[in-house]
Amino acid sequence: MNWTPLELPVGTLYCIGRNYAAHAAEMNAAVPDDPIVFIKPPAAYRNNGSTIQLPSFSNNVHHEVELVVVIGTDVASITREDAWSVVAGVGVGLDLTARDVQQRAKTNGEPWAVAKSWSGSAPVSDIVPTPQCGRGPWDLSLSINNEIRQQASTASMERSVADLIVFVASVFTLRAGDAIFTGTPEGVSQVHSGDTALARLADITSLQIQFA
């Protein structure tokens, strides 16, 4: 497939929790009535080929592979039917999570920001423009050291890309360069220093990173 990667300034990264029922189940949680949304700052972003420094404050960082949708137009209100019109392109990314820190935050009723939003916690592949990739669904996979850890179809998402755009735009206002991490399937597990991760979105784009 011949295409030129999309280039936009990195904006706010909106991440969706529990958007695959099997992942919710492995976390001993239910699929929520409304989307769970948390935010990563632009400093969390890393590009393809990066080395990710695992944070010193965690002993248990997990990988979460996700379809990433990049917004190309500012939007505060949009219908489900028109939602894809504001998508500039898609890619594959990792929502890296300090699971031990997150669990302590949950237990204490505290925010997840430190667990989810640390510098380097959101590596993303090159972004494929929508004219070249269509609207899916796509196969999503992640290998660690050549061993498949996560694999699913984006058709298994509880809420579609369009549903998520409508919701996030209505609450926050989406701007060009913002991205939505659309949730992870089951199979999340720990990564270690020296591991290599390879995430794929079907055969259209991939992300390879090293952990240090």
* 2 found inside a domain: no
Lowest mean pLDDT among 23-27, 49-53, 147-151, 183-187: 23-27
How confident is the model over 78-107, as a mean pLDDT?
A: 97
Asked, as a colleague might, if the bond just before 42 is cis with ω within 30 of 0, I would say: no
Q: Burial of 203 by CB count in 10 Å (0-12 exposed, 13-18 middle, 19+ buried)?
A: exposed
* 90 found inside a domain: yes
pLDDT over 80 at 28, yes or no:
no
Pull the structure tokens for residue 96: 């890296």
The boundaries of the domain holding residue 37 are 13-211
pLDDT score recorded for residue 1: 62
Residues 6+ apart with CB under 8 A from 145: 195, 196
pLDDT score recorded for residue 9: 87
CATH number of the domain where residue 165 is located: 3.90.850.10
* 8 found inside a domain: no
* 3 found inside a domain: no
Compare 4 and 56 and report the one with higher pLDDT. Answer: 56
How large a percentage of the chain has pLDDT more than 90?
A: 89
* 6 found inside a domain: no
* 7 found inside a domain: no
* 38 found inside a domain: yes
* 98 found inside a domain: yes
Task: Work out how many domains the chain is built from and give that number.
Answer: 1
Compare 22 and 202 and report the one with higher pLDDT. Answer: 202
pLDDT score recorded for residue 184: 96
